[in-house]
Amino acid sequence: MKKIAVVYWSGGGNTEAMAKAAVEGAQKAGGDAALFRVDAFSAQDMKDYDGFLFGCPAMGAEVLEEAEFEPFFQEAETKISGVPVGLFGSYGWGGGEWMRQWEARVKDDGARLIGQGLAVENAPDEKGLAECAALGETLVKALA
């Protein structure tokens, strides 16, 4: 069974809810998925996993959270070439430009981006949570 790490940062709980739904979707599809807040996971831990879902909301001027997530992700980027990766997060303004930039960044790193980044405005509703679960399922299928 392929191992998946769902690594996220959440300030208000929206991205955390999305992360939990993604884990449930991955597990439902038969994946061995584990959930980690970014402060409990390091780029060195990545060697133990086959695929990743990274979650971070838009912050400030539509950027990744800068104190914890961005430093982690800069190091993680050196380890994702050829690896299946999915992206998700919530936003409250700006139309999701941070997600488009994040997608381009991951592609430039050589990762196998699973679908498009999933951006949900504000708190995820039932549809948004279902999309997160589907992202988890899609990653499991990409690892098969």
11-15-6-54 Cα dihedral, nearest 10 degrees: -90
In this predicted structure, the answer to whether residue 93 has a pLDDT above a threshold of 90 is: no
In this predicted structure, the answer to whether residue 60 has a pLDDT above a threshold of 90 is: no
Q: How far is CA 4 from CA 22, 61, 94, in A?
A: 10, 30, 30
% of the chain with per-residue pLDDT over 90: 90
In the structure, what pLDDT confidence band is assigned to residue 87 with cuts at 50, 70 and 90?
A: very high
Contact 70, 64 (CB under 8 A): yes
- Residue at 42: amino acid letter: S
